[in-house]
């Protein structure tokens, strides 16, 4: 129901919870894979068990624990995470959302739709604008010629015949060509150009249209002249008339056209109206802070978060936000706020177009703010085709709440797919105090540091979490994009949204701009794991997932486990993200997480010599690598399995491993493992 970074697969965390909490009853599952889906709702009574996630992020642990009937405690420093999880598990009748969406259409529909109208070039009737294509442009400081910052001139694949649609860099006419590597002559202005020959090189240098001027880095030009202007040059549209008549030049009514005078006039009218009423709209004015992932945005001339949006976007988003703010039912209002926040990831001028697959990609296609030289503006309110509209995200929330009422699985077993529904709804009944958990409600959510939890000693049955992976994702930097808008709605109701930006000082992360390295990551994670140790009962487990490319991050993670008074009882490799994840597709990234199962260290193990232990450790690691076979061999996956098994065995003998009378440290183990693995 809302974007969160590095979400983990729900079934993985469901399995973790089952094995962690079930006292008995798993034998049937172990004997027959297919029985899981009928097993956990009926035969395992996990009600009354308390599950804590002290770094809940997108809430996978919380949702899956509620499915199993547990009482849940979720905590996160980030207000965006707190709000997202709150609405994911909070109840509402989906029909109320449907009625409110209908009311929005009656109140505001025509006013918003009027700015996304274009003329179909085939039947000359009004059509619906789906996406609007822009090119950033600068004036060459040497000759003054307008220069586009497009990397190439390929627009999209023709939806009719799969030919390449390209744009003329002089008149912006759209042409068809078979070959992107051969020159094309524009039939309108007769310019000859190479479709692959854009004006930006691999080193982010622009090339002036006048070849005599040479090239210059784009950021240097921006530093001197400010943010480049944006020219709208094309529109993807949907014509209902052509769709119903079966016009052969379009595919199901969709097509592309050069932006004409009417399109530019409509954009100008929207910009004029925005300038007139902008002070009446709830639009954030917060500055973009310095950060690892915000650096590129700042270098490209974006100073405030509102700079990341075009004026037509701000006008229509502002009108929708103003309408949401007048809703009197707070629960209903917050669900619309959730949908509004989520739609922002598509409705900004950092969004790009996937030219080969014909759809817009959102701002967070990577875990960063990457300014686009060819931004794409979506129809932000409602569209029959395409993605990104606000109404689509409201419907996504409606679908989510319908699912929460009647959860189901789609199970593929022996090539047969079945849909299995479960009777237990996913709903959180909130309490503010631990003493009321299990009596007045089943969920307690907190926003703040997890180093100090309002939970009695030994009160929790399991701590299951997915901690930050050192410097993998800059959560506070990225979530500020949503936070500044959420704050416009929530600052007077929740203290967590009173600050201008997401709090970051206590964020457990490695971030060089915040002055945090491996040392700070270790110290912060240790404090949270130590608090988990305090609230966990003696028979309970701390279970978390982890992976990283750098050995130092593994060392910090394991140091936190040991310093907090835990040891690793076992580790399991498991797929970390969906196979279709953009962070894995055609990339050499790690595809697995290691599931670390930890217990409290109740006694100190007997002393053991390092020379004895390291042979045991390495033999076990090699056996684990033989047992684990991924979809495709990946060196980083092998490294994760190998190192994790070594760290598991080391932790079980910590702190009693000695080498010539000296204690063996985590860093020594990692150095030894790296030497063996790389040789």
> Residues for the chain: how many in total?
679
**503-508 mean pLDDT:** 85
**Start-to-end C-alpha separation, the chain:** 46
Torsion of CA 167, 173, 179, 184, to 10 degrees: -110
> What is the pLDDT at residue 589?
62
Longest dimension (CA), the chain: 87
**580-604 mean pLDDT:** 73
Element (H or E) spanning 71, and its range?
strand 71-76
> What is the pLDDT at residue 584?
43
Question: How would you classify the pairing of strands 192-193 and 205-207?
Answer: unpaired
Question: Is 25's pLDDT higher than 60?
Answer: no
In sequence order, the β-bridge partners of residue 598 are 542, 568
In angstroms, the Cα distances linking 506 to 52, 280, 368, 560, 659 are: 19, 35, 21, 16, 37
pLDDT tens digits for 339-367?
999 999 999 999 999 988 889 999 998 88
Q: Flag the least confident range among 410-414, 551-555, 627-631.
A: 627-631
Verdict on whether the full-model pTM lies above 0.75: yes
Q: What is the 3-state secondary structure (H, E, C) of 293-341?
A: CCHHHHHCCCCEHHHHCCHHHHHHHHHHHHHHHCCCCHHHHHHHHHHHH
Burial class of residue 660 (count of CB atoms within 10 Å of its CB; 0-12, 13-18, 19+): exposed
**234-250 mean pLDDT:** 94
Selection from 641, 619, 673, 629 nearest residue 570 by Cα: 641
Q: Who's near 505: CB < 8 A, 6+ residues apart?
A: 514
> What is the pLDDT at residue 510?
80
pLDDT averaged over the chain? 89
Question: Is 305's pLDDT higher than 90?
Answer: yes
Q: Flag the least confident range among 169-183, 235-249, 407-421.
A: 407-421
488: tokens are 């416009």
Calpha distance 259→237 (Å, rounded): 11
Calpha distance 629→442 (Å, rounded): 39
DSSP state of 123: T
Bigger pLDDT: 390 or 512? Answer: 390
**29-54 mean pLDDT:** 66
* Complete edge-to-edge strand list for the sheet that includes strand 154-157: 154-157, 164-167, 174-177
CB 102 within 8 A of CB 394: no
Question: Is 579's pLDDT higher than 70?
Answer: no
DSSP state of 139: E
Question: Is 583's pLDDT higher than 50?
Answer: no
Q: Among all chains, which residue has been given the structure tokens 């997480």?
A: 593
676: tokens are 């063996």
pLDDT tens digits for 639-656?
888 888 999 999 999 999
pLDDT tens digits for 96-142?
999 999 999 999 999 999 999 999 999 999 999 999 999 999 888 88
Question: Is 585's pLDDT higher than 50?
Answer: no
In sequence order, the β-bridge partners of residue 76 are 447
The number of angstroms, rounded, from the C-alpha of 69 to the middle of its chain's C-alpha atoms is: 27
Phi, psi of 536 (to 5 degrees): -85, 140
How many C-beta atoms lie closer than 10 Å to residue 217's C-beta? 13
């Amino acid at each position: 129901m809302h974007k969160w970074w590095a979400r983990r697969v729900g079934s993985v965390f469901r399995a973790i919870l089952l094995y962690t909490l079930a006292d008995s009853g798993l034998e049937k599952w172990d004997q027959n894979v297919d029985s899981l889906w009928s097993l956990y709702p009926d035969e395992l009574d996990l009600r009354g068990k308390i599950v804590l996630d002290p770094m809940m992020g997108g809430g996978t642990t919380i949702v899956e624990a509620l499915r199993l009937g547990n009482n849940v405690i979720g905590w996160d420093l980030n207000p965006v995470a707190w709000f997202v999880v709150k609405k994911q598990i909070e109840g509402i009748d989906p029909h109320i959302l449907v009625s409110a969406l209908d009311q929005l259409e009656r109140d505001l529909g025509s006013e918003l739709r009027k700015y996304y109208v274009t003329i179909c070039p085939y039947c000359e009737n009004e059509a619906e604008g789906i996406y609007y294509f822009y090119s950033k442009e600068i004036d060459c400081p040497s000759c003054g010629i307008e220069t586009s910052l497009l990397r190439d001139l390929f627009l999209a694949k023709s939806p009719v015949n799969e030919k390449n649609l390209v744009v003329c860099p002089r008149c912006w006419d759209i042409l068809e060509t078979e070959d992107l590597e051969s020159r094309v002559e524009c039939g309108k202005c007769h310019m000859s150009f190479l479709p692959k020959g854009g004006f930006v090189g691999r080193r982010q240098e622009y090339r002036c249209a006048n070849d005599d001027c040479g090239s210059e880095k784009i950021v240097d030009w921006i530093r001197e002249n400010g943010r480049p202007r944006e020219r709208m040059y094309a529109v993807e549209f949907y014509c209902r008339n052509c769709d119903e008549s079966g016009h052969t030049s379009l595919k199901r009514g969709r097509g592309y056209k050069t932006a004409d005078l009417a399109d530019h006039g409509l954009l100008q009218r929207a910009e004029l109206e925005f300038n007139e009423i902008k002070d009446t709209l709830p639009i954030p004015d917060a500055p973009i802070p310095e950060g690892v992932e915000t650096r590129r945005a700042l270098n490209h001339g974006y100073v405030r978060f509102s700079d990341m949006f075009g004026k037509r976007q701000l006008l229509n988003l502002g009108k929708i936000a103003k309408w949401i703010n007048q809703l009197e039912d707070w629960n209903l209002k917050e669900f619309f706020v959730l949908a509004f926040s989520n739609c922002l990831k598509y409705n900004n001028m950092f969004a790009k177009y996937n030219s080969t697959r014909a759809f817009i990609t959102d701002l967070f296609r990577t875990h960063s703010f990457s300014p686009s030289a060819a931004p794409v503006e979506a129809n932000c309110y409602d569209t029959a085709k395409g993605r990104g509209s606000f109404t689509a995200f409201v419907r996504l929330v409606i679908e989510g709440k319908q699912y929460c009422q009647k959860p189901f699985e789609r199970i593929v077993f022996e090539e047969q797919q079945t849909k299995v529904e479960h009777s237990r709804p996913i709903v959180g009944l909130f309490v503010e105090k631990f003493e009321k958990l299990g009596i007045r409600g089943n969920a307690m959510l907190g926003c703040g540091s997890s180093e100090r939890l309002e939970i009695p000693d030994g009160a929790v049955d399991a701590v299951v979490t997915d901690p930050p992976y050192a410097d993998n994702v800059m959560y506070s930097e990225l979530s500020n994009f949503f936070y500044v808008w959420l704050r416009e709605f929530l600052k007077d109701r929740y203290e967590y949204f009173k600050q201008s930006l997401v709090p970051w000082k206590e964020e457990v992360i490695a971030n060089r701009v915040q002055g945090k390295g491996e040392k700070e990551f270790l110290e912060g994670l240790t404090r949270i794991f130590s608090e988990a140790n305090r609230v966990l009962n003696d028979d309970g487990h701390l279970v978390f997932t982890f992976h990283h490319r750098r050995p130092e991050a593994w060392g910090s993670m394991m140091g936190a486990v040991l310093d907090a008074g835990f040891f690793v009882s076992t580790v399991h490799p498991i797929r970390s993200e969906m196979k279709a994840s953009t962070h894995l597709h055609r990339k050499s990234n790690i595809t697995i997480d290691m599931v670390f199962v930890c217990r409290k260290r109740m006694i100190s193990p007997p002393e053991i010599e390092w020379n004895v232990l390291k042979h045991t450790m390495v033999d076990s690691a090699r056996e684990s690598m033989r047992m684990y076979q991924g979809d495709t061999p990946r060196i980083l996956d092998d490294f994760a399995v190998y190192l994790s098994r070594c760290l598991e065995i080391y932790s079980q003998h910590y702190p009693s491993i000695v080498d010539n009378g000296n204690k063996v440290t985590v860093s020594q183990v990692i150095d030894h493992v790296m030497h063996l693995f790389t040789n």
